[in-house]
Amino acid sequence: MTRRHRVLGGTGIEVSAHCLGAMMFGSAGNPDHDDCVRIIHAALDQGINVVDTADVYSAGESEVIVGKALAGRRDDVVLATKVHFPMGEGPNRGGSSRRWITQAVEDSLRRLNTDWIDLYQVHRPDESTDIEETLWVLSDLVQQGKIRAFGCSTFPAEQIVQAQHAAERRGLGRFRTEQPPYSILARGIEASVLPVCQEYGMGVLTWSPLAAGFLTGRYRKGQPVDLSSGRAALNPERFDPSIPENVTKLEIVEQLVELAEEVGCTLPQLAVAFVVAHPAVTSVIIGPRTIEQAEHLFKGASLALDGAVLDRIDQIVPPGTDMYTADGGWTRPVLTDPGRRRRPLAERAAV
């Protein structure tokens, strides 16, 4: 199947508008390696040419599966992986230091059974490491031919800008891509992250278009929610229908289901098409766990939402609004550390 391709952040690398995400491959999702390989092959046969994984997914198992699937097909695939989260015990088994990235890239190359990685991404910001240190080692890896380009994932807009300035100041390679969460329920990046990426000519590969399952149609207003399995078991507070915020999300889902029926598609297909429509988005990552889920999303590849439908979505969830926060296991320290938000008691009074 012929798919539309878009250039990835000025790198000259062309990628399909859909990217296959491999987070659900392995013990954390689908433990059947052969089944996961079939999903990857089905995606490639559908014209998807970019596969995104990470060292931390199922503790490296996802990378192993992707490596198996790409045997004999590696030259035709844009392969992306990520580094940052801890990969074992000890203080230096994660992060964005030169020491760790130098080791982590070798581990990923071995698991992926490849000589190079097309896009190597820093999975989250690391406040303990100077961004220049990270950019320096990534630039060295490009010179060594171990990676072709590098990017970041789930970075706030101001840290993307800081990284771009640091690269220019030091004459280093720069982040060519950003991988943020983006969906109808999580539109906050429209206000700053996406405009910043456009300003710097960065490619954008978005994750969680189905809002961790909220936009699959599985969770509906008035229907019981099983909080002991699937995504709900990992974060029950996000799906518990007794929480007012979740009631609001479920009401939004009902409106979106109705809209999808009018369009003549399913809710997941509507959700993915919405993300693809944004001019800053290069490719949207779809992360199926089963071949059935993958094939369903493949069928919606030709769906193009017109202005009237996008206007309806804007009325349901206004642009730049986050109804759902997809932190992906990381929350900005400036928000979680009270000491970063509160002066010492003796200094809090105005007089």
User: Quick check: 186 and 322 in contact, CB under 8 A?
Assistant: yes
Q: Which backbone phi and psi does 186 adopt, to 5 degrees?
A: -130, 85
CA–centroid distance for 138 within its chain? 20
Q: Which residues contact 159 (CB under 8 A, 6 or more apart)?
A: 125, 131, 152
Q: Which backbone phi and psi does 345 adopt, to 5 degrees?
A: -50, -40
Catalytic residue among 57, 182, 200, 324: 57
Kindly state the helix (H) or strand (E) to which residue 124 belongs, with its residue range.
Answer: none
Length of the chain: 351
The residues with which 50 forms a beta bridge, in sequence order, are 78
- Shortest CA distance to 55 belongs to which of 93, 96, 88, 87? 87
Give the Cα separation of 270 and 283 in Å (integer).
15
CA–centroid distance for 110 within its chain? 23
Q: Which residues contact 297 (CB under 8 A, 6 or more apart)?
A: 18, 268, 269, 272, 286, 288
**Rounded to whole angstroms, what are the CA distances from 225 to 234, 235, 253?**
13, 12, 14
Residue type, 326: A
- 103 HSE (CA, 13 A, CB side): 12
Is 57 in the active site? yes
Kindly state the helix (H) or strand (E) to which residue 185 belongs, with its residue range.
Answer: none
Q: Which residues are catalytic?
A: 57
